[in-house]
Homo-oligomer: A and B are copies of this chain.
Amino acid sequence: MTADRSGPARGRRATLADVARAAGVSASTASLAVNGSGPVSCDTRDRVLAAARGLGYQGPHPTARSLRRGRCGVVAVVVGDRLGYAFRDPMMAAFVDGLAEEIGTVGSSLLLVPTHEDAEADAARLAGLAMDAAVLVGCGSPGSGLLPGLLARGTVVVTVDGPPAPGVPDVGIDDEGGTRSLVDHLGSLGHRDIGVITLPASRDGTRPGVPRRRTAAARSAIEALPGGRTRVRAAGRNTVGEGERAAGALLDAADPPSALVAQSDVLALGCLRAASARRLAVPGDVSVTGFDGVDLHLLSGTLLTTVVQPGQLKGRTAARLVLAALDSTAPAETPGPAEPLAAADASAARIRLPVALRIGTTTGPPAPP
């Protein structure tokens, strides 16, 4: 045994210096041996590794390594809601799954950051967290005020579902086209009087920007129908309950619309419940459409007419944008940080993934008057 007995203090985690001392080499040599990154003689390497094992060395201290390297292997997922609500949406689960998968390929992990307090507190919390990049889901709007701070820190930022900010890559889908295809489908069935259940638009809601785009698209598509009439009702949250409440308000009108266009499948499920509670047949008395194409596991052979968006792919795509930006950005300061930064800036992507209309059993011709 060459190891001396001046090991780490009781209870303290062994450090590379401890290992080096025990192995009788310098810290840098120990580093090379442990990380396998550099020329070390077989003999010394074995001695170092033995010492490491003997001391229960747990590998490089993540924080210290991060400080030195300028990268911490963490990508923040910033959601504009409480996690309990955000993950109540299967779409979000799919998105985060795709994100995690792709981010995981380079060994990074996801930091989950809900932002639902006041803007200042949210920004402060974000500022205190170590991260290489941030993916803003439903809170990339200027209103959230999160973007400036993150960019000033030099954090790589990608937004999801917009609204797009200058110089920030964004992943979204064809909200307008999807909405239009739904309305056109209803129009071809003969519907004219259509109710729209919108997602919350406040900065607290999931996916701001989305409701605005989809509502505008629905409006113009409905108005393009001869005698088209639009009625809009906002859900306070993207939950089944809120969808049911909003749909109920429309259905309880003296002359209810013949079709409901919900801006998410979750809201659409609320519509189905509202109809069912009022003994209205779907699609006999009222047609219902959703948006997302998540699996609602409805019983009795019901299939929601909806627009299917690729949630998992959205996550993977966001991840790829993050990884690309991290690649082209120097970890710490390097000779030319301005150049790659500009490159990233110039190529600030606006990716719109395609969606597909899925016609199910919840839409049909309107009831005769």
Give residues in A with beta carbon < 8 Å to B: 9-13, 56, 58-67, 72-74, 77, 82-85, 87-88, 90, 92-94, 96-98, 100-101, 104, 107, 109-114, 125, 127-131, 149, 152-154, 240, 269-270, 272-273, 276, 295, 297-302, 312, 333, 337-338, 341
Contacts and interface: CB of A to CB of B under 8 A. Distances in A.
Nearest to A153: B58
A81 to B, nearest CB: 10
Count of this chain's copies in the oligomeric assembly: 2
Contacts of A295: 240
Contact of A59 (B9, B98, B128, B298): B128
B66 A130 contact: yes
A301 to B, nearest CB: 8
Contact of A128 (B11, B73, B272, B333): B73
Contacts of A58: 127, 149, 152-153
A114 to B, nearest CB: 6
Given A83-B100, A129-B73, A269-B297, A110 B112 contact: yes
A63 B130 contact: yes
Which of A88, A94, A127, A276 has most B Cβ within 10 Å? A88
B114 A111 contact: no
Top 9 closest pairs, chain A to chain B, by CB: A84-B97, A87-B93, A11-B337, A62-B130, A12-B333, A110-B112, A83-B97, A240-B297, A63-B130
A153 B87 contact: no
Which of A59, A104, A312 has most B Cβ within 10 Å? A104
Contacts of A101: 82
A10 B338 CA distance: 8
Contacts of A110: 83, 111-112
Given A62-B129, A83-B96, A96-B112, 11 more contacts: A59-B128, A62-B130, A63-B63, A63-B67, A85-B97, A87-B93, A87-B97, A109-B125, A110-B112, A112-B112, A276-B300
Contact of A107 (B63, B114, B128, B130): B128
A128 B82 contact: no
Contacts of A94: 84
A217 to B, nearest CB: 27
Contacts of A128: 59-60, 62, 65, 73, 107
